[in-house]
Amino acid sequence: MLDALASALQLDAGTLKLFHVESATQTELFRLLPSVDELLRSQAISPLISAHGHAAVVEACRAALDELRRSIVEGPAEATANRERVESAIAMLPAAVSAQLAHSSRLSLRRVVNATGVVLHTNLGRAPLAESALQHALEVARGYSNLEFDLAAGERGERDAHVDRLFRLLFSDIEAQVSGQPSPQRTQSQFRTIVVNNNAAAVLLALNTLAEGGEVIVSRGELVEIGGSFRIPEVMAKSGAILREVGTTNRTRLADYEQAISERTKLLLRVHRSNFKIIGFTEQPPLEALVELGRRRQIPVVEDLGSGALVSAETMGGVAEPTVSARLRAGVDVVTFSGDKLLGGPQAGILAGRAELIARIRSNPLFRALRVDKLIYSVLESTLLAYVRQQFEAVPALRMLQLTAGELLARAQALAAQLAASCRGRAQVEVVACESVVGGGAAPGWELPSHGLAVVISGMGADELLIRLRGHEPPVIARVEHGRVMLDMRTVLPGEESEIVAALKSALGEI
């Protein structure tokens, strides 16, 4: 037995003999175990170090030995059976270490299949990116780029230039193209945009630049909290501006703003109710009235628009969210919005507005701390180019929003047929109508009619099935509705159906 053990471990048999004992009490069983160092030196394990790194292999050896120690402690009292069991487990140590390494050395941030129907799911990375954007990022990131280099002048340039030019086009043209009206000329030179890490950073930067040490007037009905601990009062405090709340939760009038204005007032702030609705006895002054008040009293109006749609509802499957260009046209001085919500691009925060205000914001040293890198610029630029070219179907988030209930029914039926063939009746699969949501704090209460599959496996609870689907590679993320696992087809990307089939098959296999 010892020789077999020594050869399995590819250790020198003499080393193992040191642990050789006649009777197998628990202490003696422990003595059979090699040390971490011995394992590391063994011929079966030492080659793993070059592939996985010393620290990871040490960790895996420790974990495998700990597991074995636990099994000794918890093992049956009968000594000889125990001894055989432990010896064969020792022989299996290299395999256990390899398995542990295969698990621990895979990437932690992984692709998942989103079958939740939440298009901009913040926990699942919000917007999937356009193919052209990924290609561009690959090309830009692989080598050097003109990120801050003006190729025409041969000197230092500004990183903003790459996307500012496209935003200018979009803000002058997009609404006009969609509605067929001529574009207003003033937009070309008056507006400018800059990009920071996310919309939270954009709001912080705007408040800090334009209102530090002064007061910012906000309606009590707009003191929002967005998922992931973005709260307007807290961001305000960090910006060094003083929050001046006006009105009530449900009703704020223009007069409330007007009465609160003093020589300390630096800004009128409007915050989009991205993730909630106030209904019933409500009042909010029209944006135009707020803009007019700002003009009259010479106080800039900033709007945190949150999602920042660039196109109208018809291009987003009917999802009606205010567009950035409409807000700029209404006279808002600076609009802030996210890059990875309805825009369908990378995580970024965009500040768009009057050129002189944006220039002031850009010269704030905080901008340097919040700016984004070439990867974000390359993805954002290509995504915006798709908008400029009106190739909206190239932007996955827009494409998913546009899918009709009929198209989704056909996909659900096709997947149900595949499942029926491969799961042979062991899973009960029903095609059902369901509602997808936009997510990402956009269009609260808006539901997109969709279709999906409701899955039940006899002898397995819905929560257990969810766990098994998550444990598959790639993980499949679904939700439970009325005791059944629901897979909404809207957010399942083309080609992912076969992965869902494989995940369900392996879930069945483990019963």
Ligand X SMILES: *Cc1c(COP(=O)(O)O)cnc(C)c1O
Residues at the contact surface with ligand X, assessed by CB under 6 A: 198-200, 224, 226, 230, 271-272, 274, 304, 306-307, 338, 349, 441
Of 224 and 328, nearer to ligand X (C-beta) is 224
Question: Nearest approach, Cβ of 203 to ligand X (angstroms)?
Answer: 6
Question: Nearest approach, Cβ of 441 to ligand X (angstroms)?
Answer: 4
* E strand intervals along 392-460: 427-439, 442-457
Give the C-alpha separation, 219 to 217, whole Å: 7
Question: Nearest approach, Cβ of 308 to ligand X (angstroms)?
Answer: 9
Question: Nearest approach, Cβ of 338 to ligand X (angstroms)?
Answer: 3
Of 230 and 387, nearer to ligand X (C-beta) is 230
Give the C-alpha separation, 146 to 17, whole Å: 66
Residue 455 near residue 504 (C-beta atoms within 8 A): yes
Residue 481 near residue 396 (C-beta atoms within 8 A): no
Of 348 and 432, nearer to ligand X (C-beta) is 348
Distances (CA, A) of 303 to 68, 216, 300, 350, 471: 60, 12, 10, 12, 42
Of 111 and 273, nearer to ligand X (C-beta) is 273
Of 199 and 325, nearer to ligand X (C-beta) is 199
Quote the longest CA-to-CA distance of the chain: 97
Of 198 and 209, nearer to ligand X (C-beta) is 198
DSSP designation for 251: B
Question: Nearest approach, Cβ of 140 to ligand X (angstroms)?
Answer: 22
Q: Are strands 230-231 and 225-226 parallel, antiparallel or unpaired?
A: antiparallel
Question: Nearest approach, Cβ of 328 to ligand X (angstroms)?
Answer: 17
- Residues 9, 14, 18, 23, Cα dihedral to 10°: 80
Of 94 and 128, nearer to ligand X (C-beta) is 128
The percent of the chain in helix, strand and coil, each rounded to the nearest 5, is: 50, 20, 30
Produce one character per residue of 54-90: b if its CB has 16 or more CB atoms within 10 Å, e if not: eebbebbbebbbeebeeebeebeeeeeebbebbbebb
- Burial level of 258, CB count in 10 A (0-12/13-18/19+)? middle
Question: Nearest approach, Cβ of 303 to ligand X (angstroms)?
Answer: 9
Question: Nearest approach, Cβ of 322 to ligand X (angstroms)?
Answer: 11
Give the C-alpha separation, 406 to 204, whole Å: 43
Of 199 and 284, nearer to ligand X (C-beta) is 199
Of 116 and 338, nearer to ligand X (C-beta) is 338
Classified as helix, coil or strand, 4 is helix
Q: What's the token pair of residue 382?
A: 């290509």
Q: Characterise 440 by phi-psi region: left (phi > 0), alpha (psi -120 to 50), beta (else).
A: left
Q: Are strands 113-114 and 476-477 parallel, antiparallel or unpaired?
A: parallel
Give the C-alpha separation, 174 to 167, whole Å: 10
Question: Nearest approach, Cβ of 442 to ligand X (angstroms)?
Answer: 7
Of 34 and 306, nearer to ligand X (C-beta) is 306
Question: Nearest approach, Cβ of 304 to ligand X (angstroms)?
Answer: 5
Question: Nearest approach, Cβ of 236 to ligand X (angstroms)?
Answer: 12
Contacts of residue 486, Cβ cutoff 8 Å, sequence gap at least 6:
115, 117, 432, 434, 452, 453, 454, 455, 478, 479, 480
Question: Nearest approach, Cβ of 224 to ligand X (angstroms)?
Answer: 6
Of 117 and 441, nearer to ligand X (C-beta) is 441
Of 274 and 382, nearer to ligand X (C-beta) is 274
- Burial level of 309, CB count in 10 A (0-12/13-18/19+)? buried
Question: Could you tell me the end-to-end alpha-carbon distance of the chain, in angstroms, rounded to an integer?
Answer: 36
Contacts of residue 49, Cβ cutoff 8 Å, sequence gap at least 6:
40, 57
Question: Nearest approach, Cβ of 354 to ligand X (angstroms)?
Answer: 20
Of 214 and 306, nearer to ligand X (C-beta) is 306
CB-based closest residue to ligand X: 306
**String of DSSP letters for 280-313:** SS-B---HHHHHHHHHHHT--EEEEEET-BSS-G
